Amino acid sequence: MFWTGSYLRLSDRLMYSTVKINSSSTDGTQTVGTGFIFKFFRNVEDSVPVFVSNKHVIESSLDGEILMHMSDKNNNVIPDSILVPLDRFAERWITHPDPNVDLAIMPIGPVVNDLLKRGVRPFYTGIDSTTIPRDSEWKILTPIEDILMIGYPHGLWDPINNFPFFKKGSTATHAGIKYGDKEQFVIDVGLYPGSSGSPIFRLTDEFYEKSRFFRGGPDRVRLLGIVKEVFIYNAEGQIMPTKKIPKKKTLTEIPMDLGLAIRSTKLLDFEPILREMGFA
């Protein structure tokens, strides 16, 4: 199947904006998580794309892998994918300036440039900064909003086509009101460890419409947040948050289909850091 990068339905573009992250930590533990591509606008015609995930997904990692789609010379996606190995994985990420905010980003430019030098053309779309709701939009949200989560719950995905899973749900607390006095909210969706880093969107009819991607222009989708933790209860009935799932582990814990999402506005805190580094 071939798709052109210039004309995709909104849902298709979002499907190509996520990446699967595998990493190994200093103690040899292998973990899996979700990341997505986010674009900070430098001006109306240019943007700075970065990988976004949770800090806990990449911290203490020695090596990591990011699974990406591939394209032909005309930027049409092709049914091939590439697993991009990255050493010194944790060092490549920029963590949020507030140590209590579980977010990290990595500029995608160096990774893409290295692939192009090797004759590999990655394909990706991205979620741009215009999708973050404005203050006025947060205020008009209702307590119960339909949402869409895209990611790799429990590390699962379509291994042939390299597609993530789409899961529908709703907000469990008002996304526009701080939960626990922090810029976060609770979501009611089928969550599992491995969903950490998944983007959460407000689900509307526009997801099923065809819409051309206008570079530099506003988008109709709204990015509400990023999955941070999954609420689970263990065999003794104790409720606890779980952030990530190591591979090859037997669980005696049951997901509650509830989780915490960091409000998307916290991504904007990275802009001055990127500017100081010369990216923006």
Number of structural domains in the chain: 1
pLDDT-derived band at 245, boundaries 50, 70, 90: very low
Predicted TM-score of the model (pTM): 0.87
pLDDT of 206-231, one tens digit each? 666 554 444 444 557 899 999 998 88
Contact 58, 89 (CB under 8 A): yes
pLDDT of 114-155, one tens digit each? 999 999 999 998 888 889 999 999 999 999 999 999 999 888
Among residues 105, 118, 122, 120, the alpha carbon closest in space to that of 67 is found at 122
Between CA 76 and CA 217 the distance in angstroms is 22
Taking the alpha carbons of 208, 211, 215, 219 in that order, is the dihedral positive or negative?
negative
Please report, for the domain that includes residue 241, its CATH number.
2.40.10.120
H helices of the chain, where? 10-15, 55-58, 109-117, 135-140, 271-276
Token output for 183: 């810029």
Total length of the chain: 280
Distances (CA, A) of 4 to 69, 127, 213: 13, 17, 11
SS3 assignment, position 87 = strand
Domain holding 234, by residue range, is 3-276
